């Protein structure tokens, strides 16, 4: 059974840092693109960034809104994806989802972890 | 970035009736070399993560009821739910994956009339 479990969310002050983790199981992690997608309270979905698969050299892509502040990394030996978030702003408050891609669709989503940026 | 615009923002339909949600991209998301439209539709119920319904604009995900269908090409797409059921109350999003960043529409809230 495919599972994605996010962790690491919490309350942080503006300007602070937080590291999210996504633990994957039930599939060959290195074969898949894995995205971070966020959703601010009561708002829509926003793509944050992506780690491509081994076949695409694990290339990383970011949304403009987080580029230079957020860093995505992955450890295939641990079947894990990470999101290091620095210089956090109040507008980064959201539920952060870890999402698996297969050809044509984001087919598995974690339950999400809530990040609250507030003083 | 490719901008995805959904219409309407909200929709109320009677049980058993048809619901239609539109999605328009700011540029074509049809890849001519494989004739695929790089568009997916997701359903999100309260307190849950999104769930994929349709990909490649018109391919239904395994396990999704056949009352859900997707159509369109190029820049204009439609999600149709025939014979609306109570469990279809949700917010629906389109997403393009033709080019990074993979952008979403703003969502359409579907309710029962």
Instruction: Note the pLDDT tens digit of each residue in A73-94.
Output: 999 999 999 999 999 999 999 9
* In the block, residue with structure tokens 């994957």: A24
CB-nearest to B59 from A44, A61, A104 is: A104
- Cα–Cα dist A104/A115, whole Å: 29
* pLDDT for residue B90: 98
**Beta strands at A70-75 and A60-62: parallel, antiparallel or unpaired:** unpaired
Q: Which residue of B has its CA nearest to A35?
A: B102
Q: Exposure pattern of B24-52 as b/e (b: 16+ CB <10 Å)?
A: bbeeebbeeeeebbbbbbbbbeeeebbbb
Q: Per the structure block, which two tokens stand in for A104?
A: 């044509």
With an 8 Å Cβ cutoff, is B92 touching chain A? no
- State how far residue A50 is from chain B, nearest Cα, in angstroms: 9
Q: What is the mean pLDDT of residues B30-56?
A: 97
Which residues from B are below 8 Å from A109, CB to CB?
A: 49-51
Q: What pLDDT sits at residue A11?
A: 98
> What does the pLDDT average to over A56-80?
95
Residue B83: per-residue pLDDT: 94
Question: B103 vs chain A: nearest CA distance in angstroms?
Answer: 6
State the pLDDT confidence band at B46, using cuts at 50, 70 and 90: very high
* CA distances for B81 relative to A17, A44, A75, A101, B19, angstroms: 43, 21, 40, 25, 5
Neighbours of A80 (CB within 10 A): 18
User: Which among B40, B91, B101 is the nearest to A47, CB-wise?
Assistant: B101
**What is the predicted pLDDT for the residue at B13?**
97
Q: What is the pLDDT of residue B75?
A: 98
**Mean pLDDT (chain A, rounded):** 97
- Contact across the interface for A104 and B106, Cβ inside 8 Å: no
Contact A97 B56 (CB under 8 A): no
The first and second tokens of residue B45, run together, are 């119920």
Give pLDDT, residue B52. Answer: 98
- Mean pLDDT across B21-44: 97
C-beta atoms of A105 and B102 within 8 A? no
Residue A38: name the closest of B101, B3, B6 by CA.
B101
Give all strands of the β-sheet with A3-7 in edge-to-edge order. Answer: A3-7, A18-25, A80-85, A70-75
pLDDT > 90? residue A29? yes
- Is the pLDDT score of A62 beyond 90? yes
The sign one gets for the Cα dihedral B3, B52, A101, A66 is positive
What is the sign of the dihedral through the CA atoms of A27, B69, B44 and A69? positive
Measured between beta carbons, the chain B residues lying within 8 angstroms of A46 are 104
CA A49: distance to chain centroid? 7
List pLDDT tens digits, range B88-107. 999 999 999 999 999 999 99
pLDDT in the model for residue A103: 87
Residues A74, A51: contact at Cβ < 8 Å? Answer: yes
Contacts of A63 in chain B (CB under 8 A): 101
Q: Could you tell me what percent of chain A has a pLDDT over 90? A: 97
Contact (CB, 8 A) for B43 and B90: yes
Size of chain B in residues: 113
What's the pLDDT at B51?
98
Q: What is the pLDDT of residues A97-111, one digit of tens each?
A: 999 999 888 999 999
Please state the φ and ψ torsions of residue B10, each to the nearest 5 degrees.
-145, 155
Contact between B96 and B75 (Cβ < 8 Å): no
Query: Does B51 contact A35 at a Cβ distance shorter than 8 Å?
Result: no
Confirm or reject contact between B64 and chain A (CB < 8 A): no
Average pLDDT, chain B: 97
């Amino acid at each position: 059974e495919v599972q994605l479990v996010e962790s690491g969310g919490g309350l942080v002050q503006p300007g602070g840092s937080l590291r999210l983790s996504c633990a994957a199981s039930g599939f060959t992690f290195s074969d898949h693109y894995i995205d971070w997608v966020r959703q601010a309270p009561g708002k829509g979905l926003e793509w944050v960034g992506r780690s491509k698969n081994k076949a695409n050299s694990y290339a990383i892509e970011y949304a403009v809104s987080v580029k230079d502040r957020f860093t995505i990394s992955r450890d295939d030996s641990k079947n894990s994806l990470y999101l290091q978030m620095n210089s956090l702003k109040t507008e980064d408050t959201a539920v952060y989802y870890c999402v698996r891609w297969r050809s044509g669709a984001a087919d598995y989503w974690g339950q999400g972890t809530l990040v609250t940026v507030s003083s | 970035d490719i901008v995805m615009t959904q219409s309407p923002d909200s929709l109320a339909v009677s049980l058993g009736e048809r619901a239609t949600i539109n999605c328009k991209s700011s540029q074509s998301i049809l890849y001519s070399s494989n004739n695929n439209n790089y568009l997916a539709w997701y359903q999100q119920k309260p307190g849950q993560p999104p769930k994929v319904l349709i990909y490649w604009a018109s391919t239904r995900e395994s396990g999704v009821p056949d009352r859900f269908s997707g159509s369109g090409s190029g820049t204009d797409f439609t999600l149709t739910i025939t014979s609306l059921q109570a469990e279809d109350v949700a917010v629906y999003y389109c997403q393009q994956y033709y080019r990074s960043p993979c952008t979403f529409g703003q969502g359409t809230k579907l309710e029962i009339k």
